[in-house]
Amino acid sequence: MSKLPTPSERFIQGILPENPVYRQLLGLCPTLAVTNGLKPALTMAVAVGLVLLCANVIVSLIRDLLKPHLRIVIFTLTIATFVTIVDQVLSAYMYQMSKTLGPYIPLIIVNCIIICRCEVCASRQGPLAAAGDAVGQSLGFGLALASIAAVREILGTGMLLGIPMLPAAWPPWVIMVLPPGAFLTFGLLLAGVNWIRAWRTNRPQRGN
């Protein structure tokens, strides 16, 4: 059995090499739904990050007590609790944002990223590795969401976080902030990422 990655390796892996959205294709529901603006996208990334961190650490602390049959039940219970807490905190202190994000905050419970990381990393390694994994994956998730949201918001409204980025004469591509725009933007960005990866693996090595 190969050696399990160290906490810092888990952290680095999560950001780009094992990016949850662009490489593992997990957690696509919020990726398409909340990226019509940069602010909701970043709020969602922070929310997912918090839930992932708490769930990973708790699962990692009780990993020796887990047995096959009730493993998924315990993951689900933990994740649902933390999502409820995050949802309540968001409704209390960022009310308008919680209305914008709507049902997508509770949908974090079934976000494949969190259950996958609990299964793959937290149930097998100590709290430090689990925490590193959680932070790395969340950063990767945030990066992915931000990239899609930036494209959609700039092309769709001409502004980014309220700052106009395009000349006033440019007509906004409203379709970008509507559902089809989400699919198209993500599809094209994913193709771009695949192309970059293929280019990097195929170019002549620099004497490595």
Partner 1 sequence: MEYLFDIFLIAIGAALINNFVFYYFVGICPFIGVSRQVDMAVGMGSAVTFVMIIAVFISWTVTSLVLVQGAPVSSWVAGFFMSSEQAAKIDLTILAYIVYIFSISSSVQFVEMYMRKFYPPLYKSFGVFLPLITTNCAILFACLTVMSKVVGVENPAEAWDLGRALVLGIFGGLGFTIAIVIMAGIREELDLCDIPVPFRGAAITLIVGGIIAMAFMGFTGVDSGIRTALM
Partner 2 sequence: MGKTVKNSSILSRGCFQNSFLAQAWLVIVLAVSFGTALAFVQISLSEVIAANKLDETLTQVPALVWGENAAQYAADINIPLEIIPGTVSVKKGQKTTYYPLYRVSRGKVISGWVVKARGQGYADNIEVLIGVDPDVETITGLFILEQKETPGLGNKITFPAWREQFAGRKTAKPFVVVKEKSTASNTIDTVTGATISSRSVADIVNQTVIDIKGRLTSQTVHTGEGQ
**DSSP labels for 6-71?**
PHHHHHHHHHTTT-TTTTS---HHHHHHSTTSHHHHHHHHHHHHHHHHHHHHHHHHTGGG--GGGH
Long-range contacts of 66-74 (CB under 8 A, 24+ apart): 66/123, 71/119, 71/123, 72/115
**CB nearer partner 1, residue 120 or residue 198:** 198
107 is a contact residue toward partner 1 (CB under 8 A): yes
x/- letters, 34..63, toward partner 2 (CB under 8 A): ----------------------------x-
100 is a contact residue toward partner 2 (CB under 8 A): no
Residues ≥6 apart with Cβ < 8 Å to 154: 160, 165, 166
Piece of the chain touching partner 1 by CB under 8 A; list 52-60, 78-86, 142-150, 166-174 = 78-86
Q: Check: CB of residue 83 under 8 Å from CB of residue 106.
A: yes
- Which residues lie near partner 1 (CB under 8 A)? 25-26, 28-29, 32-33, 72-73, 76-77, 80-81, 83-84, 87-88, 103, 106-107, 109-110, 112, 115, 175, 178-184, 186-188, 190-192, 194-195, 198
- Which residues lie near partner 2 (CB under 8 A)? 62, 65-67, 69-70, 73-74, 77-78, 81, 84-85, 88-89, 91-93, 95, 156-157, 172, 174, 177-178
